[in-house]
Amino acid sequence: MSPHGIGETWEDDTHRVVLVTGAGGGLGSCIAGRFFDRGYRVALTDLDEQTAAKAATELDPTGQNAVGLALDVRDKDAFVRVRDQLVERWGAVHVLVNNAGYSKVEPLMDISPESFDAVVRTNLDGPFFGCQVFGAYFAERGYGRIVNIGSLAGQNGGTATGAHYAASKGGVATLTKVFARELGPHGVTVNAVSPGPQDLPVVRDSVTPDRLAQIEASIPVGRLGRPAFIADMCLLLAAEHADAVTGACWDANGGLYMR
């Protein structure tokens, strides 16, 4: 029996297919671009379809190996629709990267129920629904890779993020283990990558320059993280020969959190 299911090998697929959520910009687009460069067919999804389509066109103007689709990760049925679209378009999906996230900086005691719910629905419900829908699909095929994007905030409670963001990312780490245990016997691995502060516009826009300088000074390696390396970590966890790693959380935080 092959690692992909009875009779199935990579040679049966012209290209491996990856779905990256929240890929209209930032870290998600970086991850999608890395997979594309490695020969994957890439589905870039975003809440805004035009944003996703623009990012996909920038990767592949021909539209043959990259497509931008609308996906509201708070809606389980939306994952089902996108899965079916991709299977119809490219025949299969092999990798899911749950990257979509929502960060909001608010004082702890000022977080309203509505604000808490909005952050958690994107950051925790989204990966849960994605793992459910694609986990079942991958398990039926006998092969799949899921990579969840967590955060240092989910491990240390956060320093420059809101409590709702930190709590939701802590939940992602636990969901990763739960789904890894459930899906492991079916040839599906589920792992998480937990970045520290990254050199991204969203980070620079969410904190003041003085506060950002303080954060950089507190990082043992002395600089913000490189998004391209996070993308490389996702690629490695998605590899065919990565089957020995599941339920893991790979840290990339410049030494801010050591364990």
Active-site residues, by number, are 165
φ, ψ of residue 44 in degrees (nearest 5): -100, 120
Alpha carbon distance 125, 212 (integer Å): 29
| Sequence-separated (6 or more) residues with CB below 8 Å from residue 152 | 158, 194, 195, 196, 197, 251, 253, 256, 257
- For residue 259, give the DSSP letter: -
Q: Are 249 and 192 in contact (CB under 8 A)?
A: yes
Alpha carbon distance 18, 24 (integer Å): 15
Distances (CA, A) of 65 to 36, 44, 60, 92, 231: 8, 11, 7, 13, 18
